Chains A and B, each alone.
Chain A
Amino acid sequence: MHKNRLFIIRCLFPALAIYIFVFAYPTLRTIIMSFFNMKTISTSIKHWKFAGINNYLHVFQAPIFRQSLLNIMRIWFLSGAITIFLSLFFAVILTGNIRGKQFFKSVIYMPNVISVIALGNMWLHYVFNYKYGLLKTFFSSLNMTGLASIQWTSPDFIFYAMNIAYSFGMIGYFMLIYVSGIERIPAEILESATIDGAGRFRSFISITFPLLKDVNKTVFTLWTVRVVGFFALSKVFSPIDSSPQTITPMVYAYEAMFGADFVSVEGRIGIAASACVVMTVIIVVMFLLSNALTKGDHYEF
């Protein structure tokens, strides 16, 4: 027994130490930093000045941070609608009676294994290009001049362009989560619905979707975590400077840490920390919300 205890400690220690050092301690310290002012990121605690909730006041009054919050809200809804709709749609198709399921699943999931920087540039510099781009040549060949003349990379459209590229990369992952959810529904339930004369659409609306409640809860949380962490694609779609169309809170926090023009030099570190805390709070609130919304009866099967 004594030997066992030593073995347990020896096995757990590295993982636990890493967790404390890289997750627990930095999270707490960032929260504390958000209530202080300091000159640089590496200023020692002795020279921090207490700022109360000033950093939070600053961050919520800063137009660019508010814009970034608005942007991720719009990304959450717009990309969310595209991604969830298409991933459910493909999941239903690929759990049905169709050939080459494995192959099509692999194709749709593929963008997830590609570097976001590479994928983003493929969209930005090919699909959305205004000279030789895919959308431009496709709509021109159909003589749809209105659609062909859309300048996807102009300030008016870049946000939508970014959302389309983002959804393309996300669909495969959520499709697989829905596939696993649908496959866990016993076949007899859907069979009996078919025998009772329900069509495919009807049985999806009345049976499959309600039974996916727990999966939807997971998707809701995962989607929020992804959107709050929106960073690399925003950088790709605004290559020179962060622009109000594409900025996200994470880009804002990063720029504040390293001193972009739009965040005042004084106290920018504390401001960055408070932006980080706001992002984490969003995730926690959405997680609690999803738990509260799906509380109550659970389906057993």
Chain B
Amino acid sequence: MNSKPIRIRPFLNKLWGYLAVCFWLVFTIVLVGWIICASFSTTREIFSGKLLNSGFHIENYTRALFKNNVALYLTNSVFYTLSSCFLILLISIPAAYVISRYLFLGRRLLQYLFVASLGIPTVMITMPLYSLIVRMGLLNYRAVLIFLYTAISVPFTTYFLISFFVSIPLSIEEAATIDGCTDDKTLWYIMLPIASPGVLTVTIFNFISIWNEYFISLMFINDSKLRQVGVGLYSMVQSMTYTGDWSGLFASVILVFLPTFVLYLFLSKYIIGGITAGGVKG
């Protein structure tokens, strides 16, 4: 008789939990789903509330991709993001390895400096950099954007990777040294493969944050041919609300939404694991 309330309570708790997360799920699906439907409809259908009434209008996408240059912005972003992600690793892996393995003066200080970079607002560092780049005549260069993206991500990436190298047992390198392996070979051929889960996680984070970056590219790129997706989409939305091309607007939004979303579908396990393991960047 008395056992009833004890059984009901966990059940009710669970029910509320399910209701809350399902509500969130439904909202997210409606949000994204409606915009996908709108991106295939005509502007008139969007305003009259009869989405997809005249079938799928693929031309919204061809118009956005080629007439409004989304294809160009996407290509630019792929180029900027992949190059930066590669360069970040090239610089951060050796630094993280040395900091985690060798005792030298200022080792702790370096780690503090690298984390502290997370607290410096981007806008604080942009004016002197802008001034330098203007005086060197390097405004509107792809390489400058890639350099800045790389530089801004190096401190945190290094900090993140240190913890991965620390967790690898020393005996592995000792064995390698005894077998006559040089420091470079030990790092790239022995340590790197073992640390690869950490390298993968931090690269996914770098990819997403560089892909979605807005402020730096707004400041350092004025040439519309060199724009990446964030700045490109922003200016496109402005012109499309002006011309009243709402279906084109939603198609462009979906085109910018899709790449990171698809990446996320495949890699969410690493991303979620990376943050819950103590990475502090998202």
- Bound complex: CA A62 to CA B269 (Å): 48
Interfacial chain A residues near B278, Cβ < 8 Å: 180
Partner of A113, one of B97, B119, B260: B260
- Inter-chain contact A283/B128, CB cutoff 8 Å: no
- Bound complex: CA A254 to CA B118 (Å): 20
- Inter-chain contact A117/B120, CB cutoff 8 Å: no
Partner of A27, one of B125, B234, B280: B125
Which residue in chain A gives the minimum CB-CB distance to B237?
A121
Interfacial chain A residues near B246, Cβ < 8 Å: 125
Given A15-B158, A122-B253, A218 and B264 touching (CB < 8 A)? Answer: no
Interfacial chain B residues near A257, Cβ < 8 Å: 127, 130
Given A93-B21, A107-B28, A125-B249, A132 and B260 touching (CB < 8 A)? Answer: no
Given A115-B211, A180-B278, A200-B13, A106 and B127 touching (CB < 8 A)? Answer: no
- Inter-chain contact A18/B91, CB cutoff 8 Å: yes
- Bound complex: CA A109 to CA B269 (Å): 11
- Contact string, A74-107, partner B, CB cutoff 8 A, digits 1/0? 0000000000000001100110111000101111
- Inter-chain contact B229/A115, CB cutoff 8 Å: yes
Q: Taking chain A's interface residues, is the majority helix, strand, or loop, or is none over half, making it mixed?
A: helix
Interface residues on A, range: 35 or more
Interfacial chain B residues near A104, Cβ < 8 Å: 21, 24-25
Of the listed stretches A50-58, A225-233, A293-301, name the one at the interface; the rest are far from the partner chain.
A225-233
Judge whether B58 is part of the interface by a CB distance below 8 angstroms: no
Interface centre among A111, A114, A228, A250 (most CB of B within 10 A): A114
Interfacial chain A residues near B152, Cβ < 8 Å: 22
- Inter-chain contact A277/B17, CB cutoff 8 Å: no
Interfacial chain B residues near A121, Cβ < 8 Å: 233, 237, 249, 253
- Bound complex: CA A27 to CA B122 (Å): 10
Interfacial chain B residues near A96, Cβ < 8 Å: 13-14, 17
- Inter-chain contact A113/B14, CB cutoff 8 Å: no
- Inter-chain contact A277/B124, CB cutoff 8 Å: yes
Judge whether A69 is part of the interface by a CB distance below 8 angstroms: no
- Bound complex: CA A113 to CA B261 (Å): 7
Interfacial chain B residues near A232, Cβ < 8 Å: 214-215, 230
Interface residues on B, range: 35 or more
Which residue in chain B gives the minimum CB-CB distance to A23?
B117
Given A90-B20, A115-B256, A132 and B46 touching (CB < 8 A)? Answer: yes
Partner of B214, one of A15, A117, A131: A117
Interfacial chain B residues near A114, Cβ < 8 Å: 212, 257, 260-261
Closest CB-CB distance, A297 to chain B, in whole Å? Answer: 22
Given A96-B14, A110-B264, A137-B49, A126 and B114 touching (CB < 8 A)? Answer: no
Interfacial chain B residues near A254, Cβ < 8 Å: 123, 215, 218-219
Judge whether B143 is part of the interface by a CB distance below 8 angstroms: no
B156-180 CB contacts (< 8 Å) to partner A: 158
Which residue in chain B gives the minimum CB-CB distance to A109?
B272
- Inter-chain contact B117/A19, CB cutoff 8 Å: yes
- Inter-chain contact B126/A26, CB cutoff 8 Å: yes
- Inter-chain contact A126/B34, CB cutoff 8 Å: yes
- Inter-chain contact B95/A15, CB cutoff 8 Å: yes
B216-261 CB contacts (< 8 Å) to partner A: 218-219, 229-230, 233-234, 237-238, 241, 246, 249-250, 253, 256-257, 260-261
Interfacial chain A residues near B110, Cβ < 8 Å: 12, 16
Judge whether B268 is part of the interface by a CB distance below 8 angstroms: yes
Interfacial chain B residues near A277, Cβ < 8 Å: 124
- Bound complex: CA A179 to CA B273 (Å): 11
Which B residues contact A (CB, under 8 angstroms)?
A: 9-10, 13-14, 17-18, 20-21, 24-25, 28, 30-32, 34-35, 38, 46-47, 49, 91-92, 94-95, 97-99, 102, 104, 110, 113-114, 117-131, 134-135, 148, 150-152, 154-155, 158, 183-184, 187, 208, 211-212, 214-215, 218-219, 229-230, 233-234, 237-238, 241, 246, 249-250, 253, 256-257, 260-261, 263-264, 268-269, 271-272, 275-278, 280, 282
A/B interface sample: 30 pairs, CB < 8 A: A7-B184, A10-B94, A11-B94, A15-B155, A18-B91, A22-B125, A22-B151, A25-B128, A29-B128, A41-B127, A42-B130, A89-B20, A93-B21, A96-B17, A104-B25, A106-B268, A106-B272, A107-B24, A114-B212, A114-B257, A115-B230, A117-B214, A117-B237, A126-B34, A199-B9, A231-B215, A235-B234, A250-B121, A279-B121, A280-B124
Known: A22-B129, A89-B20, A279-B124. 8 other contacts (CB 8 A): A7-B183, A93-B21, A114-B261, A122-B253, A176-B275, A250-B215, A253-B123, A283-B121
